[in-house]
Amino acid sequence: MPDDTPLMQQWRDAKSRHRDALVFFRVGDFYELFNQDAEEGARLLGLTLTSRNNGAAARVPLAGIPVKALDEYLARLVRAGKRVAICEQVEDPAEARGIVRREVVETVTPGTVLHDALLADRRNTFLAAVVKGSGAPASEGSASGRPATDRPAPAEAPWALAALDLSTGEFTVRAVPAGTLADEVGRIEPAELLLPRSLQEDPALAGVASPLEGGPARTVRDDWVFDAELAREELQRRFGVRSLEGFGFRTEGEAGAEPGAPDDRDLVRAGGALVTYVHEIRPGGVAHLEPPRILRPGSAMVLDRMTRRNLELVEPLRAGAGEGGEGTLLAVLDRAATAMGGRLLRRWVLNPLVAPAEIWARQEAVEELVTEQGVRRRLRDALRRVADLERLAGKMGTGRGTPRDLRALARSLAQLPAVAEACGALSAPLLRTLTGELDLLAEVRALLDGALADDPPAALSEGGVIRPGFDEALDELRALRDGAVDFIASLQTRERERTGIASLKVGFNKVFGYYLEVTRANLDRVPDDYVRKQTLANGERYFTPELKEWEEKVFGAEDRMAQLEARLFGEVRERAAGETARLQKTARRVAALDVLAALAEGAEEGGYVRPEVHTGYDLEIEAGRHPVVETMMPREEFIPNDVRLAEDGFIVILTGPNMAGKSTVLRQVGLIQLLAQMGAFVPARRARLPVVDRIFTRVGASDNLARGESTFMVEMHETAAILHGASDRSLVLLDEIGRGTSTYDGVSIAWAVTEHLHEAVGCKTVFATHYHELTQLGDLLPGVVNRNVAVREAGDDIVFLRRLEPGGADRSYGIQVARLAGVPRSVIARAAELLHELEGTHSGGGEGLGRHGALRPRSEAPPDQLTLFTPEHPLLARLRNLALEEMTPLEALNLLSRLRAEARGDREPGAP
């Protein structure tokens, strides 16, 4: 605006380039927010909103934060999904002519944070981009075994999904079938999702959790940013190549490609858009970004949102269940000694393998580390002294490494020989590969050890970063500075002797420099060559020409030292950054060794065994345990169970009372299967497990009112996803179906779903239910078997045995569980009375079908007349149970006479 001050003109220029961000504008020791940014920042951060005159008639809204508190306020804004542009002073105020020049040096978004305070140590912070597929539809295949008429319509072209972690440099791209887009995005757990503007309302993105639901923040960019040619040029320029084929990208018509197979232009579009966005966020560049790694479909098991949630893999099912993911599979497994190992373990949990050879390779490595306890102990001891090499590499690549970061890197590199030596005698192929290709970066370690002080300060400006002896010029300046300081320190003794003032002292402060201080009682003895510098209440401060000369020597030497140290440190950091790619490769290998050792440690502590993973169909678990539940109780109290799913019984109908442990059995099967395909050991006495393509779960009841979906609608959505997505190689775990609607509807749906899984899909299934009618399927379908969780009755109480037994249960013991939950006794008594009446009136299946006829009030006698809601006359039940073939004609005639009398309401003939 024409009346703006120069400072406000600078701010408006920065704001015009970052309209969608809050601009933190550096002014001295504060970051200031102006105008609309100040109003929004005050609301979000609880800042005091003030104003200042900008030189015109208007007053500008103003809010600010101290520079030292930046990380704290940034964390709050990032959690709120906001973008922040950091506008720094880029020249020394002492040397500036006019107003200090300022530039935006970094934009912080939820997916591009680099500040340590904003990053979770053991969790990646991914930025992701999605692009809608433009190629031919992917082949459906016939693995599901479903009839063609029952299969969904051909899928759309695969989507492209790219993800990168700016803090580590990891960069991946993958093709994602349209039906699994939300599942893949959820598995990556991005903090921010980059979208073309044309896809904001695309129905395929409806399944991706919104920011309000805990999903990623969404950033929309114009469609041209995702142009294939621009994206290709950006990737080639960023990685310095003339073609992307060296990274594995397929081009149209490429030799050896399958006929009709789409090329990878969509993967290039997604990856190029990410790199363009990162360059916009960090104009200074990101030298540590790795070349894109292409993940082809089928490299890992697909885990949908339901399965990740219901099995509580990395997040507890209930909010507030515990901090740090307590109560999850990851929390039980995570014994990693390093932060990068913890992040890799999380990715392994969310990406179980489907290639048997890879699974067996991990198992063999874990088995050897379980056996070789001494090796494992030495390896983990060395790993505990290794810092987060991945993120240290990221700091090198972005020029953010501090003196202490480089010293931590040197200490970590010093542990690598011990890591390699600990594993030197191991024979498992995976372990030999990881340690045999381990780059020790000896020259980088030597550079850092020779250049850096043993305990450098946190900030370069504090000095003392470079080790004595590394640079001759710096050593000379230090000697000059130290000599001057020693001379000034001896000046106090000489001046006391010369002036006779015993209380005279030499002092220093940052404002006035060095001075000679004399108390007021001795002012008459001050020599003529003393020049007054500052007046105090109790005396005066002076300097002499000699003191001034030595002061200038000290200050001059310190200024030159600071400049020289900054230059030397920058050179050392730049040389170390030049080896970022090697450092990243070493970090990946060390992280993998850490995870394998952690899995071995957990296997030994938990009494886990190596499962037999095979390519057949049968699933057999002997004495299986739930890996999470057993950690919450003494091990001897957990009751293990056997589960077998084979051709002669691949669907288990699991019945039993509430609280008996059906859900525990159900989930432990899924977790044991997942652990096996991670390459880990499993909590069981013995396990023989097939490789499954997917694990599906449907557990519990929940609604989604934000999307207008009732509990039953959510349940049916989840069921439909299973029926459409499962193949004969899948594992399906169902905990109730149809409980959100009427009883007849629910039983019908549950029955039909079970039949479909048996006849059309053929997948291994465990179905826990209170619909005891489903146990009849064990007699009707050859692949269905019944199991129940045993209980014992003791009067009105029940004892949960938590043991799986053959056969089905006929009761759910709901009233007993209600008593245990503390429901009032009067309610329990009335419920028992009503249950008895229902069971007595409806002998055909009272509890299971829940055929609620007209129940009489507590004080009312049984009705003589049937009501509208009574499903049948009681005489019908008697008729169904008659054994007519055993009666004589006379007995049958007498019975018929009695029944007619009862139907008319008459008394029986001869009755009193």
Which amino acid type is present at position 59?
A: R
pLDDT digits (tens, 9 = 90+) for 151-198: 445 546 889 999 999 999 999 999 988 778 888 998 899 999 999 999
**35 CB burial (10 A radius; 0-12, 13-18, 19+):** middle
How large is the average pLDDT for residues 405-422? 95
**Ramachandran assignment for 513, one of left (phi > 0), alpha (psi -120 to 50 degrees), beta (any other):** left
Q: How far apart are the first and last CA of the chain?
A: 109
pLDDT digits (tens, 9 = 90+) for 349-402: 999 999 999 999 999 999 999 999 999 999 999 999 999 999 999 999 888 899
Helix (H) or strand (E) run with residue 217 in it: strand 217-221
DSSP state letters, 771-795: -GGGGGHHHH-TTEEEEEEEEEEET
Structure-token pair, residue 31: 């970051």
Q: How far apart are CA 367 and CA 431, in angstroms?
A: 11
pLDDT value at position 143? 38
pLDDT digits (tens, 9 = 90+) for 840-886: 654 433 333 333 345 555 555 444 444 434 455 666 766 776 777 77
Q: How far apart are CA 55 and CA 311, in angstroms?
A: 62
Query: CB neighbours (10 Å) of residue 96?
Result: 12
pLDDT value at position 208? 85
Helix (H) or strand (E) run with residue 596 in it: helix 580-606
Average model confidence (pLDDT) for the chain? Answer: 84
Nearest to 804 by CA among 653, 633, 627, 636: 653
Q: Which of 327-331, 846-850, 892-896 has the lowest mean pLDDT?
A: 846-850
Contact 265, 231 (CB under 8 A): no
Helix (H) or strand (E) run with residue 765 in it: strand 764-768
Q: How far apart are CA 375 and CA 891, in angstroms?
A: 86
Q: How far apart are CA 278 and CA 293, in angstroms?
A: 17
Q: How far apart are CA 518 and CA 390, in angstroms?
A: 57
Bridge partners (DSSP) listed for residue 64? 32
Structure-token pair, residue 595: 């995870």
pLDDT value at position 852? 39
Instruction: Look at strands 731-735 and 764-768 and give their pairing.
Output: parallel
Portion of the chain with pLDDT greater than 70, in percent: 86
pLDDT value at position 554? 81
Structure-token pair, residue 158: 């695969």
Structure-token pair, residue 372: 């070789």
**3-state class (DSSP) for residue 88:** strand
Instruction: Look at strands 50-53 and 59-66 and give their pairing.
Output: antiparallel
Structure-token pair, residue 787: 């199991």
Contact 644, 665 (CB under 8 A): no
Q: How far apart are CA 195 and CA 197, in angstroms?
A: 6
DSSP one-letter code for 761 = I
Contact 672, 311 (CB under 8 A): no
Which amino acid type is present at position 270?
A: A
Q: How far apart are CA 638 and CA 607, in angstroms?
A: 13
Is residue 318's pLDDT more than 80?
no
pTM of structure: 0.83
Nearest to 328 by CA among 629, 635, 112: 629
Is residue 139's pLDDT more than 60?
no
Bridge partners (DSSP) listed for residue 193? 128, 218
Highest averaged pLDDT of the listed ranges 458-472, 474-488, 609-623, 808-822? 609-623
Is residue 116's pLDDT more than 80?
yes
Residue with tokens 């030397």: 568
Nearest to 418 by CA among 375, 445, 379: 379
